[in-house]
Amino acid sequence: MSEPIIRTRGLSKRFGDFTAVDALDLAVEPGTIFAFLGGNGSGKSTTIRMLIGILEPTAGEIRVDGIDVVHTPRRVRDHIGYMGQKVSLYQGLSLRENVEFYAGLFGLAGAALERRWGALRERFDLAAAEGRRPEDLPAAIRQRAGLALSMLHEPRVLFLDEPTAGVDVRSRSLFWDVIQEEAAGGTTVFVTTHFVEEADSCDWVAFIDAGKLIADAPPEALRERFSDGYRVTVRGGDPRAAAAALTAAGLAVESAPDAVRGTAPGLPPGALAELERLRARQPDAHVEVQQPAMTDVFRRVLTDAPRPA
Amino acid sequence: MTAAGGRLRGWLSRVLAVAWREATLLRHDRGFVSTIIAQPILIILLYGYGLSNTPANVPWAVLDRSQSAQSRQLVQDIRHSGYFLAPTPVSGYAEGHALLRRGAVLAMLVVPAGLRRDAARGRARVQVLLDGSDPLSAARVGSYVAQIAAASAPPRRPAVREGVAPGADLPGPVDVRQRFTFNPRLADRDFFLATLVGMLLTNLCLSASSLGIVGERESGTFEQTLALPISTVEIVLGKLVPLVVLGYLVLLGTLTLQGVLFGIWPRGSLVALLVVTLPFLLASLAIGVFVSSLADTSAQAVFITVFFIMPSFVLSGIMFPYELMPEAVRPIGGLLPLRWYQIALRRIFARGGGLGDVVVPALAMLAIFAVLLAAIRWRLRPRLG
Amino acid sequence: MSWQRLRTLLRREARASLRDPFTVGILVAVPLLAMVLFGFVLSTEVHGLRLAVLDGDASPASRRLIGDLRATGAFTLVPVRSRDEIELGLVDGRLGGAIVVPPGFGRDLAEGRTPEVNAIYDAAEAVLAGNAEGYVRGVVAATGARLAVRRPASGGGIAVVTSVLFNPTLAGVPFMVSGTFGFVLSFLAVLITAVTIVNERMAGTFEQLQVTPATTLEILLGKLLPMGGVFALDIALMMLAAGLLLGVWPNGSAAFFWIVSALYVLTTLSMGLIFSATSATAAEAVQKTVIFSIPIVQLSGFAFPIRNMPGWLQWVTECFPATHYIRISRAIYLRGEGPLDLWPELLILAAFGALQVTVALRTMGART
């Protein structure tokens, strides 16, 4: 178990009487995708702004890539990339000029910049947009550009604040492809979002509500705890074979006149393989796997998770 | 009758609905509220206690080559007029000139060596050098000295009383009996404060309404409102209502403050004042709304507003009398509601005017308002394509 | 401090601002407009005041007096025949004042008595009335002194010969022009800066900047230097406009004035940065600027002499950098003073500048 690349202890932020973030303890492993979920006003953005050092916490400590963000926020800047909710492209400058500007601040220029930007441009399909101004570009392209910019200087940690808000479906899936590539390459990605289904693309999920952490686990673990579980339905084919396969898969079986149903809190390991074998042996059988929706999981978390009154 | 009455009721209720929403928004804008309260107080105190064109504390130098009774009497008379500080004696022309050049003194009195002899022959004369940088002060100071000198005579006449208030009649071979109509104390302050309310209201109107609409356009709520079954004119009027109410509150507050602190109450009809304020507020607010309809961003709206406030102050005659402006420029000020309001204010405050005196200004401002409303309607009509 | 980063910041600022015609227009047009407005439209002289004259004496002495009044060039004399005409004219606003010479004026003077002349002013226009009063008193006193018979024993009055330095014609325009620089830089520059930067913060780009390696000092300079450059250009343009359109050129060194003004600009721009850093919206930035700047401008001697204020208030005005700048502007423009004469004021201005830049750094770098 390596040292967490992001760690907070007792992180709090108060604005007058209002507590936006309350004693948050987070730990993010390097090279993982960490989803930070919560509704509007839950404290997500406040937290991320403290993590990147532009907001001073009322209490607690933050370490990012070994740097004490609370006391030496400036030192963290070379290590992190940030994409805010409002995509920060300067109007009146073309996308290319924006790139040159931010790159310049990181000391990236000339051939090195050309190489790096060339790759990103390719990956994010921004060639057509390069010469145009942000105000003339559709939101989806602006968002892609924002993400590309945050990655320009190859930071070790990416902080993305609702990167997929207001973006079309095709771009959203492109985003997550890129994010997963980055994580695979060793970059840590800290993502906030209120699209709960996106949690499935992440390695770890934390739920925040009213400034407090109410869940902090991998997505599957949350499913196991906070849902009615998986439901597999087999229609047609040999009911007994189906029942046997489901039992072998580790599911609790119940028979019904039209189908054989199996349930389990989480999907046991090897269950999918078992179901594949069933399909192979029973071509007439129709096998359906119902995974609990993350939205339902979240709703359950909100009602069930223990919270002080 | 009922159909028209029903339409009118509908119109009114829509306008008031918008007005209510605007009022709520304003109430929660703490910055705006504190500006509304703070600015009048600040400006009244400033103009009431600080700003004036009447010379006071005038520093001056004396080059006395005569050292005679006459010269000493003259210096004493000048000193005791109340406008001047204690003089700086200099021993040479160059020294005095250097003081003038540095701005350390405003005037230098040069007394020739032969003053006593000249006085005996009835031809006494002295020289005064003035720093002409500030012509207003120079002119007044120069004429004060001239008048004091004309009256000055050695010890036979008792010395002028210490602490005599500036502006009191100074004795001379010719007595100038002065009467200032309408403003017996001739205080600059009365001049400023009478029309101060116009300046404050203009400030309020332009900044509030211009930023309001642009802010909405930026955040998109304006489009949403346009989609409702409500006409542009109704929206605009609804936005204006709470600001008009605020305007009246500022008016009453300012009048009270001026009256309590400085005893300046409008001499004329208060009713006339209240009546003529309405077209003024409407017209000024309409300028603000029109301005904001021209701009695409808040930044632009602010700049355009500044563009309007500055000339407003100058051309309306509120700070500087418009008689002093070149002939060609004066009519331009007529386009500004502030100019008409200022005329009405002066008539009511200083000259004790009544309803009859404010009819023309009121009509002029209503005309401006009508024109602007049409312009706003034109500007905010849904754009095709 | 990285020069490379600073250069990057400057390049972006220049590119973005110069491409926006609106911003450039405002930055250049508003100061010029102010110069023309204040210099051309306003002047603090008396001219054309309509003065009614009721000569009840019609003697050589009274005609002499009226002639002297006319000779000042400050009045338009309107002969009238009755007091009623005067009253009507004053109420209507057609007259600014009136002089009534009583019958027996000349005879009284010749016989050593003290005749009485009535002067009536429409004091609803206090500024005009005050000026007129000054002139009239002076003229009447001077004429009276000349005409009165002097008895050697009485000593008589003293005549005064006035000469005016630095502005012999008592023209009002140079005074206004030299003060306008102070107004533009102390108020308009602050306002424009505050709003521009607030808008940037609202767009989220400021936040992004904070996450880059750029230091607060670099960000500050990246904003100050380009804006400062534009305003420095404005100053030059205003000087040219004042000279070519209004005929007012500095009596002292133009280069020295320009340098001092350019440095003062950095001070006021810092003020604008402070306002914007502490405001959430453009409206708030405007309100703050207006509340702070207008009293400061009014108290700094731009239009109203500080000397005329109560003593304690004069001490307060010394705390405004604008006061010192306006003093320096007037000294250079009107009296031709140079760096050697002005070094105490320059030092104070520099100290203020350093203070404000420091505070701006503090507020901009604060992480709230």
**What are A19's two structure tokens?**
């507590």
Question: Chain C: residue nearest A96 by CA?
Answer: C12
pLDDT tens figures, A233-242:
888 888 888 8
* Residue B358 near residue B344 (C-beta atoms within 8 A): yes
Cα distance between residue C196 and residue C199, in whole Å: 5
Which secondary-structure segment (H or E) carries C351? helix C339-365
CA nearest neighbour of A145 among A108, A105, A102: A102
Beta-strand pair B60-64/B88-89: parallel
Question: Do C207 and C132 belong together in one domain?
Answer: no
Burial label, C168 (beta-carbon count in 10 A; 0-12, 13-18, 19+): exposed
Question: Do C180 and C248 belong together in one domain?
Answer: yes
Highest-confidence segment of A58-67, B375-384, C201-210, C241-250: A58-67
Cα distance between residue B257 and residue B96, in whole Å: 46
Average pLDDT rounded to a whole number, residues A24-41: 90
Reported for C91-95, long-range contacts at CB under 8 A and 24+ positions apart, including other chains, are: C91/B351, C93/C122, C94/C50, C95/C50, C95/C51, C95/C52, C95/C122
Bigger pLDDT: B202 vs B31: B202
Domain ends where: C154, C184, C209?
Answer: C154
Q: Does C114 touch chain B (CB under 8 A)?
A: yes
Interface test with A, best of C15, C208, C367, C368 (most A CBs within 10 A): C208
Residue C243 burial (CB count, 10 A) = 14
Cα distance between residue A173 and residue A199, in whole Å: 13
Cα dihedral angle (C4, C8, C10, C16), rounded to 10 degrees?
A: 170
Per-residue pLDDT at B204 exceeds 60:
yes
Residue that has been written with the tokens 């409008």 in this structure: B266
Q: Does C203 touch chain B (CB under 8 A)?
A: no
* Residue C268 near residue C293 (C-beta atoms within 8 A): no
* Residue C96 near residue C48 (C-beta atoms within 8 A): no
Q: Sorting pLDDT into bands at 50, 70 and 90, what band is B371? A: very high
**What are C323's two structure tokens?**
């006061």
Q: Sorting pLDDT into bands at 50, 70 and 90, what band is A228? A: confident
* Residue B174 near residue C117 (C-beta atoms within 8 A): yes
pLDDT for the residue C351:
95
**What are A78's two structure tokens?**
């070379």
Average pLDDT rounded to a whole number, residues A241-259: 84
Per-residue pLDDT at A107 exceeds 60:
yes
Which chain C residues in 315-354 lie under 8 Å from chain B, judged by CB atoms? 327, 330-331, 334-337, 341
**β-strand partners of A261:** A233, A254
**What are C115's two structure tokens?**
């005749």
Q: Does C167 touch chain A (CB under 8 A)?
A: no
Per-residue pLDDT at B172 exceeds 50:
no
**β-strand partners of B61:** B88, B108
Q: ∠ CA(C180), CA(C184), CA(C189), 5° rounding?
A: 170
Query: Is C164 domain-assigned?
Result: no
Does the domain at B60-151 match CATH 3.40.1710.10? Answer given as yes
* Residue C324 near residue C263 (C-beta atoms within 8 A): no
Per the CB < 8 Å rule, is B188 touching C164?
Answer: no
Average pLDDT rounded to a whole number, residues B244-254: 88
Phi, psi angles (nearest 5°) of residue A59: -155, 160
Domain ends where: C102, C120, C154?
Answer: C154
Residue A111 burial (CB count, 10 A) = 7
**What are B90's two structure tokens?**
């200099």
pLDDT for the residue C349:
93
pLDDT tens figures, A152-166:
999 999 999 988 887
Residues found in chain B: 385
Per-residue pLDDT at B168 exceeds 60:
no
- C19: nearest CB among A56, A92, A100: A92
Q: What is the DSSP string of C223-287?
A: HHHHHHHHHHHHHHHHHHHHHHHH----SS-HHHHHHHHHHHHHHHHHHHHHHHHT-SSHHHHHH
* Residue A233 near residue A288 (C-beta atoms within 8 A): yes
Query: Is C160 domain-assigned?
Result: no
Residue A74 burial (CB count, 10 A) = 15
pLDDT for the residue B186:
46
Q: ∠ CA(B139), CA(B142), CA(B147), 5° rounding?
A: 125
pLDDT for the residue B13:
82
A107, amino acid identity: G
Q: Residues in chain C with pLDDT < 70?
A: 40-48, 73, 91-93, 112-114, 122-135, 137-160, 169-170, 202-203, 282-283, 368
Chain A hits for C8, CB-CB cut-off 8 Å, are 100-101, 104-105
Rg over alpha carbons for chain C, rounded to the nearest Å, is: 27
**What are B132's two structure tokens?**
């002409």
Per-residue pLDDT at B173 exceeds 60:
no
> What is the SS3 assignment for C216?
helix
User: How far is CA B147 from its chain centroid?
Assistant: 30
Q: Does C142 touch chain B (CB under 8 A)?
A: yes
Question: Do C254 and C359 belong together in one domain?
Answer: yes
CA distance, residue C218 to nearest chain B CA (Å): 24
**What CATH number does residue C140 fall under?**
3.40.1710.10
Per-residue pLDDT at B160 exceeds 50:
no
pLDDT tens figures, B318-340:
445 544 555 555 566 667 787 78
In the 3-class helix/strand/coil scheme, how is C77-96 assigned residue by residue?
Answer: EEECCCHHHHHHHHHHCCCC
Mean pLDDT for all residues in chain A: 88
Question: Do C220 and C112 belong together in one domain?
Answer: no
Who's near A160: CB < 8 A, 6+ residues apart? Answer: A82, A83, A147, A150, A179, A189, A190, A191, A192
Cα distance between residue A129 and residue A144, in whole Å: 11
CA distance, residue C202 to nearest chain B CA (Å): 11
Per the CB < 8 Å rule, is C15 touching A93?
Answer: yes
Q: What is the ipTM of this complex?
A: 0.76
* Residue B182 near residue C97 (C-beta atoms within 8 A): no
Rg over alpha carbons for chain A, rounded to the nearest Å, is: 23
Per-residue pLDDT at B82 exceeds 60:
yes
CA distance, residue A58 to nearest chain C CA (Å): 10
Domain span(s) for CATH 3.40.1710.10 in chain B:
60-151
pLDDT for the residue A57:
93
pLDDT for the residue A1:
52
Q: What DSSP character marks residue B353?
A: -
pLDDT for the residue A85:
82
> What is the SS3 assignment for C148?
coil
pLDDT for the residue B346:
75
Average pLDDT rounded to a whole number, residues A274-288: 86
Question: Do C57 and C35 belong together in one domain?
Answer: no
Cα distance between residue B25 and residue B37, in whole Å: 17
Q: What is the pTM of this model?
A: 0.76
Question: Do C67 and C140 belong together in one domain?
Answer: yes
CATH number of A228-291: 3.40.30.10, 3.30.70.260, 2.130.10.10, 3.40.50.720?
Answer: 3.30.70.260
Number of compact structural domains in chain C: 2
CA distance, residue A286 to nearest chain C CA (Å): 52
- C123: nearest CB among B46, B49, B181: B181
Q: Please name the chains neighbouring C, where neighbouring means 3+ C-beta pairs under 8 angstroms.
A: A, B
Q: Does C344 touch chain A (CB under 8 A)?
A: no
Q: Does C290 touch chain B (CB under 8 A)?
A: yes
Boundaries of every domain in chain A: 6-223, 228-291
pLDDT for the residue B308:
65
Q: Which domain holds residue C357?
A: 3-42+171-365
Highest-confidence segment of A162-171, A216-225, B202-211, C254-263: C254-263
Q: Sorting pLDDT into bands at 50, 70 and 90, what band is A115? A: very high
**What are C64's two structure tokens?**
């002499």
User: What are the Cα distances from residue B57, in Å, to B84, B106, B131, B133, C131?
Assistant: 5, 10, 15, 17, 18
pLDDT for the residue B210:
56
Q: Does A16 touch chain C (CB under 8 A)?
A: no
Per the CB < 8 Å rule, is B139 touching C135?
Answer: yes
- B302: nearest CB among C137, C195, C327: C195
Question: Do C35 and C54 belong together in one domain?
Answer: no
- A84: nearest CB among C4, C204, C367: C204
Question: Do C148 and C210 belong together in one domain?
Answer: no
Chain B to chain C Cβ contacts (< 8 Å): 374
Who's near B327: CB < 8 A, 6+ residues apart? Answer: none
User: What are the Cα distances from residue B180, in Å, to B185, B191, C128?
Assistant: 8, 13, 12
Beta-strand pair A59-64/A6-15: antiparallel
Chain A hits for C12, CB-CB cut-off 8 Å, are 90, 93, 97, 101
Side-chain-side CA neighbours of C262 within 13 Å: the count stands at 16
User: What are the Cα distances from residue A73, in Å, to A47, A144, B206, C285?
Assistant: 14, 27, 42, 28
Backbone conformation region of residue A166, classed left if phi is above 0, alpha if psi is from -120 to 50, else beta: left
Chain C hits for A104, CB-CB cut-off 8 Å, are 4-5, 7-8, 11
* Residue B218 near residue C160 (C-beta atoms within 8 A): no
CATH number of A6-223: 3.40.50.300, 3.40.47.10, 3.20.20.140, 3.40.50.2020?
Answer: 3.40.50.300
Question: Do C131 and C180 belong together in one domain?
Answer: no
Per the CB < 8 Å rule, is C215 touching A74?
Answer: yes
Beta-strand pair C97-101/C75-79: unpaired
Average pLDDT rounded to a whole number, residues B144-158: 64
Q: Please name the chains neighbouring B, where neighbouring means 3+ C-beta pairs under 8 angstroms.
A: C
In the 3-class helix/strand/coil scheme, how is B300-369 assigned residue by residue?
Answer: HHHHHHHHHHHHHHHHCCCCCCHHHCCCCCHHHHCCCHHHHHHHHHHHHHCCCCCHHHHHHHHHHHHHHH
Which chain A residues in 88-117 lie under 8 Å from chain C, judged by CB atoms? 88-93, 97, 100-102, 104-107
Question: Chain C: residue nearest A55 by CA?
Answer: C367
